[in-house]
Structures are given as C-alpha cells and as structure tokens.
C-alpha cells in the first residue's frame, strides 16, 4: 500500500511559515494542519500569531482555535487528531500541509511515534505541578536529569507541562520517556513526508522580525488579550504561551509595561533559538533562507520546485 503524501513547513517563529504553507497549499491543492501547541486555544489569538482569514487566503486550516485555555493538551492528543485530519484531507484527494514550529508535534506525527495507553494520574500530576511552581521547576528538573538525562536535554526547566509529564510517566510506568519513545518507533513512518524549512543566514534579521511582530501584537491589543486570558482561565498547557506570563508583573504593578515587552521579545528570541536547535537535527528538512532571495515570492517559487521534484509531480 502506498504511503500517504504529507508536506510539512517548519522553522522558527516569525520566519514566514504561514505565508509559505498557504502558498504551497494553493499550488498543490492542499489543506493546512497547524502544528502549533498554542494556536489550538480559543481566545489566544494575538499572542500565538494565529493566521487571520485574510492570511489563510481561502485555504482550510485545521487544529486551530478549538480548545478552551483551561484544558490540558499533550503531544499524544495532537498526533491522534492530526492523523485523523490527514486521513480526512487525503480522503478528499487533497494534500495535507503540516505547518508550525512545535518540533515535538511534527516529529512525533511524521515519525510514527506511538504513545502508551497508560492513563494519567490527576492527583499525581497536580502534586507535581505544585512542586514545580515552588521553585520554578528546579527540583523537578534535577530529578528528571537523574532519571532521564536524554529527555531533560530536550525539555526546558520552565516548561511545566512537559516536565511534569516526563516525571509522571516514569512514576506511573517505571519507564522513562526516552525508553518509551524508543520502543514506540518499532514501526516505519506511515507517511511519505516532504519537509521544507525556513531560516535566516543572518540571525539578527530573524530577531528583527520577531521584535517587529511583538510590536504589532501590542498594536493589535496584546495587553488586553493577556489580561482577559490570565483572569478567565486556570491555565495548564496554555500557560507556556509567550506573551502572557511575561505581562503578569505589569498587571501586578511590579514592572513597567516597557520592561515586560522587552521580556516578551527576549523570550520569543530564545524560543526561536530552541526551535532551530530542534529542527537542525533533522536531515530530512530542505532549508530555504529568505534573506538569500530578493523577494519572498522567490522563496515560494523555489520551494514549489523542490516539492514538485520530491513528489515527482
């Protein structure tokens, strides 16, 4: 049986993924499946840079804006839903286009990582969350470094969701997350995947784009959105969205707005760096660098040629 074709557009935040994914979807009769761990949440539109109707250009987008911010969401949840969407889209004779910067989501989906059916323990999870909050995750992260150093390398100490999940899995199963992932990769990937990546030769140009995006978010109403989200929801996974927690000191009267905005820009740049570190390990990705082209249209044209060659179209 032939494997289903899947196209993926990946890269750091503010690199132009949405524009490229839409252009490729229009060229190859596709539909976009988001691979962004924060765009899944309703009301969180500005901070997560959800594509607008205008930016979508009539191309259907999936797995965006469907979950309440108070709800937790895991990589296994994403893989299950994304597989369903791939089946639906290919069933309509169209090409699924995965687009986003959450590398764990993309790799788990395309590399056929299966997940343990072990149910979570809510009481244990809440206890681990409380432990993490006491010292900003430091004790829990040191524990993870001892039991599963490979997983610890890929998890930021302040990402409570992934940190807690990694420890929870070990406590419940006796197996580390790394061990479970290795065991899950026994079957070959189910998709014929073409991966296109966006990056910049000049890192400062990417950082300038990130800073400009944050400025535009402010103009679009980021502060009001952050206040609404933080006051209305008991955030779980959504707490990791950059642009909200950095504004908490401003709302508490502890820091001026300008300082908090600088922190958002700084955290966004750091996130972009982590994204690039993740994606660069993947030899399947064909990279395109917008700062090597006169216009972004030429980036689109060259990536279209690559996709045509890869899929023999």
User: What's the gap between Cα 155 and its chain centre?
Assistant: 13
In a 3-state reduction of DSSP, which class is residue 156?
coil
Q: How many residues does the chain have?
A: 313
User: pTM of the entire structure?
Assistant: 0.82
Q: What is the predicted pLDDT for the residue at 2?
A: 80
* Higher-pLDDT residue of 146, 289: 289
Q: What mean pLDDT is predicted for residues 250-261?
A: 96
Q: Report the candidate in 297, 288, 241, 193 with the shortest Cα–Cα distance to residue 44.
A: 241
Q: What is the predicted pLDDT for the residue at 313?
A: 86
Q: Report the candidate in 50, 52, 108 with the shortest Cα–Cα distance to residue 78.
A: 108
Sequence-distant (≥ 6) Cβ neighbours of residue 96 within 8 angstroms: 4, 5, 6, 7, 30, 31, 33, 85, 86, 89, 90
The pLDDT confidence band at residue 13, using thresholds 50, 70 and 90, is: very high
Sequence-ordered alpha helix ranges (H) in the chain: 17-27, 53-56, 75-91, 103-110, 122-134, 138-147, 149-154, 160-173, 177-184, 203-220, 222-232, 248-251, 257-280, 296-311
Each residue of 216-226: pLDDT tens digit?
999 999 999 99
Average pLDDT value over all residues in the chain:
90
Q: What is the predicted pLDDT for the residue at 114?
A: 63
Q: How far is CA 24 from CA 95, 170, 194, in A?
A: 10, 41, 12
3-state secondary structure 29-80: CEEEEECCCCCCECCCCCCCCCCCHHHHCCCCEECCCCECCCCCCCHHHHHH
DSSP secondary-structure letter at 2? P
pLDDT beyond 80 at 185:
no
Contact between 148 and 177 under an 8 Å Cβ cutoff? The reply is yes
Residues above pLDDT 90, as percent of the chain: 64
Pair of tokens at residue 67: 């979950």
Q: Does domain 122-184 have CATH number 1.10.20.140?
A: yes
Contact between 79 and 115 under an 8 Å Cβ cutoff? The reply is yes
Domain ranges of the chain: 4-114+191-311, 122-184
Q: What is the predicted pLDDT for the residue at 23?
A: 98
Sequence-distant (≥ 6) Cβ neighbours of residue 229 within 8 angstroms: 43, 44, 47, 69, 235, 238, 244
Q: Does domain 4-114+191-311 have CATH number 3.40.50.300?
A: yes
Q: How many other β-carbons are positioned within 10 Å of the β-carbon of residue 290? A: 23
Each residue of 73-121: pLDDT tens digit?
888 899 999 999 999 999 999 999 999 999 989 998 998 776 554 455 6
Weakest-pLDDT range from 1-15, 127-141, 262-276: 127-141
Weakest-pLDDT range from 30-39, 64-73, 271-280: 64-73
């Amino acid at each position: 049986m032939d494997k289903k074709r899947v196209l993926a557009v990946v890269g750091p935040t503010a690199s132009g993924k949405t524009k490229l994914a839409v252009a490729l979807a229009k060229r190859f009769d596709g539909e976009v499946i988001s691979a962004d761990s924060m765009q899944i949440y309703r009301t969180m539109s500005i901070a997560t840079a959800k594509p607008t109707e205008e930016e979508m250009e009539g191309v259907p987008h999936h797995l965006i804006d469907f979950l309440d911010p108070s709800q937790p969401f895991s990589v296994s949840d994403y893989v299950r839903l994304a597989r369903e969407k791939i089946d639906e889209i290919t069933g309509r004779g169209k090409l699924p286009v995965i687009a986003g910067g959450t590398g764990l989501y993309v790799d788990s989906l395309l590399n056929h990582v299966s997940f343990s059916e072990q149910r979570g323990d809510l009481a244990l999870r809440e206890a681990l969350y409380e432990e993490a909050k006491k010292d900003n995750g430091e004790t829990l992260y040191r524990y993870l470094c001892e039991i599963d150093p490979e997983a610890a390398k890929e998890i930021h100490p302040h990402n409570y969701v992934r940190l807690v999940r990694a420890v929870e899995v070990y406590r419940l199963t006796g197996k580390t997350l790394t061990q479970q992932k290795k065991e899950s990769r026994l079957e070959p990937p189910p998709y014929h995947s073409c991966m296109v990546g966006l990056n910049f030769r000049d890192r400062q140009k990417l950082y300038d784009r990130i800073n400009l995006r944050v400025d535009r978010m402010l103009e679009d109403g980021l502060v009001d959105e952050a206040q609404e989200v933080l006051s209305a929801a008991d955030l779980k996974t959504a707490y990791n969205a950059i642009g909200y927690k950095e504004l908490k000191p401003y709302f508490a009267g502890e820091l001026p707005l300008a300082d908090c905005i600088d922190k958002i820009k700084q955290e966004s740049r750091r996130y972009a760096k982590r994204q690039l570190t993740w994606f660069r390990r993947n030899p399947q990705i064909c990279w395109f660098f917008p700062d090597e082209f006169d216009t972004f249209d030429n980036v689109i044209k060259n990536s279209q040629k690559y996709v045509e060659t890869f899929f023999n179209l």
